[in-house]
Amino acid sequence: MSAQPQPQPLTATLLLLNREQAILEFNRRVLAQALREDVPLLERLRYICIVSSNMDEFFEVRFADYLEASRLPGSGITLREMAEVAAAAHEMIDAQYAAFNEVVMPALAREGIVVLNHAERDAAQRAWVDDFFQKQVRPLLVPVGLDPAHPFPQVANKSLNFIVKLGGRDAFGRDNSIAIVKVPRVLPRVIRLPAEVAGDRQAFVLLSSLIRAHLEELFPGRTVEAFSQFRVTRDSDLDVDDDVTNLRLALRSSLSTRHFGLAIRLEVVNTCPEELSEFLLQQFGLPDAALYRVNGPVNLVRLNQLIDQADADALRFAPYEPAWPKSLRPANAEGSMFERLKSGDVLLHHPFESFEPVVQMLREAVADPDVLAIKQTIYRTGSESPLMDLLIEAARRGKEVMAVVELKARFDEEANINWAERLEAVGAQVVYGIVGLKTHAKLLLVTRREDTPRGSRLRRYAHLSTGNYNPKTARLYTDIGCMTADPTLTADADLVFQQLASLTRGKAPRQLLLAPSSLHKQMLRLIERCEQAAREGRAARIVVKLNALTDEALIAALVAASQAGVEIDLIVRGACMLPPGLRGFTDRIRVRSVVGRFLEHTRILYFRFGTGEDEELLYLSSADWMTRNMQRRIEVAWPVRDAALRQRVIDECLVPYLRDAQDAWLQGSDGRYERVASEGPSAQQALMRRYKL
């Protein structure tokens, strides 16, 4: 077992948990899903793929930043802490491959789904594989023998490669012994064998196994003495100065170099000879601790291709179709969405309820000649998006379209640049937020001209959300959206768009909380208000549901409130640096994490500071409680003022998660988590049943 997460000083008496260790702990909870017998087998494999993807991002972003921070004077990061994080990462990856090799793949084999290596393939299967290699793979491979005229090639981030040690001499009589084979990304990593050679099973072959079986053919006249797959993970954060004159062009230029950032991790198979792994470490300038020997393919993420190709619906989650919101039924009603919103706000709880009403609202706005302007933030919409297509159509029809495109949305930069260019091409006003601040707020604003007895006037309609404008992830992530015609809230949303476009300091919003100006301060004030209520003997309660809790000021405020008597429940999906349950310090703070079928993504902030109806507040937010969200991003939070809607959020998004006994984990004061062992309900499953009624 690796060392326990090392706390960091917060005050003289309370220590924070290590953030990197907390991220690894989250991935242990995800990996635990792969070991649950009540989860369908292909979904268990998918969780392994998710962990692999998460670990890639951990090294590309988090660990890369951690290493960079450790080099700064006064960082407080010790060599011991770095070694403990590295050891925990090694343990995490070893556990991942153990689950893959010892649990999930044998179970799939019992169901007739197998991945065959060369030794397991019969004569007919080897003949088919050989034919596939000769026709589909061999023409794309270019082995590079290393010598002074052929230096070590550029190896792209997370690409599949082979290192080969050769015997004999080359075509020119020299004894250069090392060669590199780069595998093109265009080749499929998982190949399904046709039924005529697979027999009564669904048989698959990994591209790495296929190439391994034909390595000697790539080096005629030489012998292959040793070899290994390898993959390098690089720092993938785009480093663009805030003083560039054109952020879009600068990012477009930087994208071409992203795949060749500083090397962070080297993966080889566990049979790789030490001399080859040492050679690779030297080429990438990495220490021994950066070497990860894995028992299997070096990129488990690509096993998603097996999941997609397997014909076994019984081994997947049963399909779930989001319900059309009851407040908008019937779904095919001819009435205008705008007319409906005049009678009150509509809350959408994804993925249990459909995201389609948001698309329909925008579609109606595009077609309505009385709609004059549409404004929207764009963070992660995906490379294909009906909403972006509708914005483009709106601009073509002559409507005023403003898109706030966040170009620095990590790993979505290229898609967002492409959307920005397409929008600009049809005359939309495209802005990129504020220099130095990511625009992470989720806002859509429609301005419509309407006739009244006193003449025509402009009226606004808005959609605010805790999640992205992405219909695909809206079926996979839990989020809350609010569609509203509330004059104050929509006016506040317009203020946000005005500030993002004009860069002027306007008047403060009346209901919306905005980071970095007011959100952090108001959260601290509300925590302090609950603390004061507890000191006065009044009922005081805080329940917060987030993706991450790492901001030291907010943690310190929560600790102080708990010491004053406030009962605090934190539902934190990912990294939480607050150690709960410390006697005399955090006795009244409980931290739980829920990891289930859907990715928990809602941000809900509940504060009670008395027993009166006006002594509780509930906010929905785009922001996690992280310093970056509070100080370096444009974020919004908004109150749910309608009592019935507020109670609905409590009943659906807080209470079931506090009672979850299937997918919930409780955090200990040492940062470790234990699964809740009970016969109680699963919050997500209960919500799926509720919305199917």
Q: How many CB atoms lie within 10 A of CB 401?
A: 24
For residue 4, the model assigns a pLDDT of: 45
Q: Which residue out of 349, 350, 440, 463 is catalytically annotated?
A: 440
Asked if pLDDT for residue 149 goes beyond 70, the answer is no
CA dihedral 23, 24, 30, 32 (to 10 degrees): -150
Span 585-639, pLDDT tens digits? 899 999 999 999 999 999 999 999 998 888 999 999 999 999 999 999 999 999 9
Query: What is the per-residue DSSP string for 115-160?
Result: E--GGG--HHHHHHHHHHIIIIIGGG---EE-BTTBPPPP--TT--
Asked if pLDDT for residue 410 goes beyond 70, the answer is no
**What is the rounded distance in angstroms from the CA atom of residue 92 to the CA atom of residue 98?**
10
Does an H or E element contain 501, and which?
helix 487-502
Span 286-338, pLDDT tens digits? 999 899 999 999 999 999 999 999 999 999 999 999 999 988 876 555 568 99
Q: Could you give the C-alpha distances from 677 to 86, 215, 395, 663, 666, in angstroms and in order?
A: 30, 50, 54, 10, 10
What is the share, in percent, of the chain residues with pLDDT greater than 90? 76
Residue 158 sits at φ, ψ, to 5 deg, of 65, 15
Span 369-392, pLDDT tens digits? 999 999 999 988 888 899 999 999
For residue 62, the model assigns a pLDDT of: 85
Between residues 381 and 350, the one the model is more confident about: 350
Give the start-to-end residue ranges of the domains of the chain: 326-509, 515-692
Task: Tell which CATH architecture fits domain 515-692.
Answer: 2-Layer Sandwich (3.30)
CATH top-level class of 326-509: alpha beta
How many residues belong to the chain? 693
Between residues 122 and 169, the one the model is more confident about: 122
pLDDT, mean of residues 15-25: 93
pLDDT, mean of residues 136-154: 88
Residue 633 sits at φ, ψ, to 5 deg, of -140, 155
Asked if pLDDT for residue 440 goes beyond 50, the answer is yes
Asked if pLDDT for residue 423 goes beyond 60, the answer is yes
Span 479-505, pLDDT tens digits? 999 999 999 999 999 999 999 988 777
Instruction: State the Cα angle at 184 between 178 and 190, rounded to 5°.
Output: 110
Q: What's 651's DSSP letter?
A: I
For residue 5, the model assigns a pLDDT of: 45
Q: Judge whether 247 and 231 are in contact, CB under 8 Å.
A: no
pLDDT, mean of residues 230-239: 83
**What is the rounded distance in angstroms from the CA atom of residue 118 to the CA atom of residue 105?**
17
Q: How confident is the model at residue 151 (pLDDT cuts 50, 70, 90)?
A: confident
Query: What is the per-residue DSSP string for 80-123?
Result: HHHHHHHHHHHHHHHHHHHIIIIIIHHHHHHTTEEE--GGG--H
**What is the rounded distance in angstroms from the CA atom of residue 53 to the CA atom of residue 62?**
13
For residue 50, the model assigns a pLDDT of: 97
Asked if pLDDT for residue 164 goes beyond 80, the answer is yes
For residue 6, the model assigns a pLDDT of: 45
Q: How many CB atoms lie within 10 A of CB 58?
A: 24
User: What is the pairing mode between strands 15-16 and 190-192?
Assistant: unpaired
Asked if pLDDT for residue 243 goes beyond 60, the answer is no
154 contact partners, CB below 8 Å, separation of at least 6: 260
For residue 7, the model assigns a pLDDT of: 44
The chain-wide mean pLDDT, for the chain, equals 91
Q: How confident is the model at residue 415 (pLDDT cuts 50, 70, 90)?
A: confident
**What is the rounded distance in angstroms from the CA atom of residue 355 to the CA atom of residue 335?**
18
Predicted TM-score of the model (pTM): 0.92
Q: Which range has the worst mean pLDDT, 1-10, 216-225, 569-578?
A: 1-10
Strand partners, 544: 570, 605
CA neighbours within 13 Å on the CB side: how many for 560? 18
**What is the rounded distance in angstroms from the CA atom of residue 231 to the CA atom of residue 159?**
6
Residue 67 token pair:
């290493």
Q: How many CB atoms lie within 10 A of CB 421?
A: 13
Q: How confident is the model at residue 8 (pLDDT cuts 50, 70, 90)?
A: very low
Q: Judge whether 560 and 647 are in contact, CB under 8 Å.
A: no
Asked if pLDDT for residue 448 goes beyond 70, the answer is yes
For residue 611, the model assigns a pLDDT of: 87
Tell me whether residue 440 is one of the annotated catalytic residues.
yes
378 contact partners, CB below 8 Å, separation of at least 6: 388, 403, 404, 405, 406, 416, 419, 469
Asked if pLDDT for residue 9 goes beyond 50, the answer is no
Asked if the domains at 326-509 and 515-692 fall in one CATH topology, the answer is: yes
Q: Which residue has the tokens 């109680």?
A: 680
* Sequence letter at residue 626: M
Q: Judge whether 16 and 9 are in contact, CB under 8 Å.
A: yes
Asked if pLDDT for residue 341 goes beyond 90, the answer is yes
> Three-state DSSP class for 141?
coil
Asked if pLDDT for residue 579 goes beyond 50, the answer is yes
Residue 122 token pair:
């019969």
